[in-house]
């Protein structure tokens, strides 16, 4: 990307002054190296988002930003419903509430090394993964609607976890305002036997070791220390979320002119928040969030079952669960006053700072855990939300490394078997139903996650707390 297009506000902040039909500035948080490597389409998408009605403060992009559908992946934007603000299906994305949860184990690397092959195989057979993967749970219409209303709470009530899990999940495990009636029968059909499955793409379940701690006081509040083994699960709302996104984008494109909305890009299809279509989408999208929360909760239960057989002394309490790809109503300071805003985060993580009322008591002094995923052979990170981040980008941070090349490019550069063998030589066991999928998600296809995290830390969006490396990866 041409950095001459930006005003360099600070080491990790780059601004696009409003021009043309932009209503607010565009801001990208990144180092100069990340900016130069970023695809130019991000500039275009950040400026297009800044043209949408009712947007406030700025159109933001996180350090892992790359070209997405409508919004850049890594895009954050907040809208004021009282000022004609809109909700955009493209600003949430297709994999609604794709997210990461991390579990403690109480184990160390020696415990894992003794059973590494056996544990990898057992997890692979217990956790359905891959394109079109299905689980053993099949929901009828009544159960489907209950799940879409109840999220992780629904799962816990059916024995997939404990009430204590809900205290460590955004929204207490259940997104209020979900309306299953706005979810089409086709979307429900796609999800009927996909609960408790990873899916494909960049989704995974990883056994990870904590190698470094950067903020000992915050790490202690999170319950992590060097040498600890944790489990991280990355997945979303599967076919249901994709169907919701597809259907509402089509409806929003067709309705835009009737609302008097001039779209800078058809992929930014949106509707006024206070319109019937806007409210219908919010009801369906919130149901999609609950689907993802329930899905990750069931996967947690399946993981605990495997550990209870192979490493029975392990306990797997939940550290935290964060969602990406959402639009949430939040109170933020705007022009010195608290204002309810509709905050879109697409490929971005909520990162609330210390003292926020929505955080559990355990995190009031530390800020929210922010879980940043790696890519099979690369590190993952735990960060913490900051008060500065609340003022800067509505309490938001990056969500991963971000792709550096397309899946097609990755297939030209790597073979799946070669990736598996190379990682095995480094002590990382990969289990996947698709070698093609492994090649598409090769570590080299992504940006340097450490550079992305350093930029988020340097910009004050979130503080770097701990570094994790993979030992086992079940790849979708």
Catalytic positions? 399
Task: Give long-range contacts, CB 8 A cutoff, 24+ apart: 258-261.
Answer: 261/53, 261/86
Reading the block at residue 182, the tokens are 């706005």
Q: Longest Cα pair distance anywhere in the chain, in angstroms?
A: 64
Q: Are 32 and 12 in contact (CB under 8 A)?
A: no
3-state secondary structure of 420: helix
Q: Are 397 and 90 in contact (CB under 8 A)?
A: no
Residue 283's nearest CA partner among 322, 257, 248, 254 is 248
- Rounded to 5°, the CA angle 151-156-158 comes to 105
Contacts of 336 (CB under 8 A, 6+ apart): none
Q: Are 466 and 210 in contact (CB under 8 A)?
A: yes
206 phi/psi in degrees, rounded to 5:
-125, 140
Strands (E), 105-250: 204-213, 229-235
- The CA distances from residue 438 to 117, 281, 403, 428, in Å, are 19, 34, 14, 13
Strands (E), 105-228: 204-213
Secondary structure letter of residue 136 according to DSSP: S
Q: Are 50 and 26 in contact (CB under 8 A)?
A: yes
């Amino acid at each position: 990307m041409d950095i001459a297009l930006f005003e360099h506000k600070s080491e990790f902040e780059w601004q696009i002054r409003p021009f043309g039909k932009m209503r607010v500035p565009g801001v990208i948080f990144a180092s100069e190296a990340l900016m130069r490597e970023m695809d130019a389409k991000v500039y275009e998408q950040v400026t297009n988002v800044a043209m949408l009605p009712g947007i406030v403060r700025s159109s933001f992009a996180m350090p892992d930003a790359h070209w997405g559908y409508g919004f850049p992946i890594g895009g954050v934007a907040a809208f004021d419903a009282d000022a004609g603000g809109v909700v955009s299906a493209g600003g949430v994305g297709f994999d609604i509430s794709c997210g990461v949860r991390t579990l403690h184990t109480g184990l160390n690397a020696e415990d894992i090394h003794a059973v590494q092959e056996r544990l990898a195989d057992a997890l692979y057979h217990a956790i359905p993964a891959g394109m079109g993967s299905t689980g053993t749970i099949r929901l009828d219409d009544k159960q489907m609607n209950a799940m879409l209303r109840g999220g992780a709470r629904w799962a816990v009530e059916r024995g997939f976890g404990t009430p204590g899990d809900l205290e460590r999940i955004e929204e207490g495990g259940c997104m209020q305002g979900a309306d299953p009636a706005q979810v089409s029968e086709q979307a429900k059909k796609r999800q009927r036997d996909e609960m408790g499955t990873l899916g494909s793409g960049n989704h995974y379940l990883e056994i990870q070791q904590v190698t470094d701690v950067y903020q000992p006081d915050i790490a202690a509040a999170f319950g992590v220390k060097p040498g600890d083994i944790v489990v991280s699960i990355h997945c979303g709302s599967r076919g249901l979320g994709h169907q919701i996104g597809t259907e509402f984008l089509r409806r929003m494109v067709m309705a835009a002119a009737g609302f008097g909305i001039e779209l800078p890009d058809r992929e930014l299809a949106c509707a006024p928040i206070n319109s019937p279509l806007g409210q219908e989408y919010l009801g369906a999208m919130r149901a999609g969030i609950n689907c993802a929360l329930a899905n990750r909760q069931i996967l947690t239960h399946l993981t605990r079952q495997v550990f209870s057989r192979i490493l029975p002394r392990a306990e797997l309490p939940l550290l935290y669960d964060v969602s990406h790809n959402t639009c949430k109503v939040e109170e933020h300071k705007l022009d010195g006053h608290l204002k309810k805003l509709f905050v879109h985060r697409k490929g971005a993580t909520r990162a609330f700072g210390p003292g926020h009322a929505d955080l559990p008591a355990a995190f009031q002094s530390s800020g929210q855990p922010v879980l940043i995923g790696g890519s099979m052979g690369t590190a993952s990170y735990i960060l913490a939300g900051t008060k500065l981040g609340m003022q800067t980008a509505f309490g938001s941070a990056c969500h991963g490394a971000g792709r550096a090349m397309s899946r097609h490019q990755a297939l030209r550069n790597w073979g799946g078997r070669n990736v598996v063998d190379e990682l095995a030589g480094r002590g990382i066991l990969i289990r996947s139903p698709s070698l093609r999928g492994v090649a598409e998600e090769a570590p080299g296809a992504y940006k340097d996650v450490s550079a992305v995290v350093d930029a988020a830390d340097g910009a004050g969006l979130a503080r770097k707390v701990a570094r994790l490396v993979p030992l086992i990866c079940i790849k979708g």
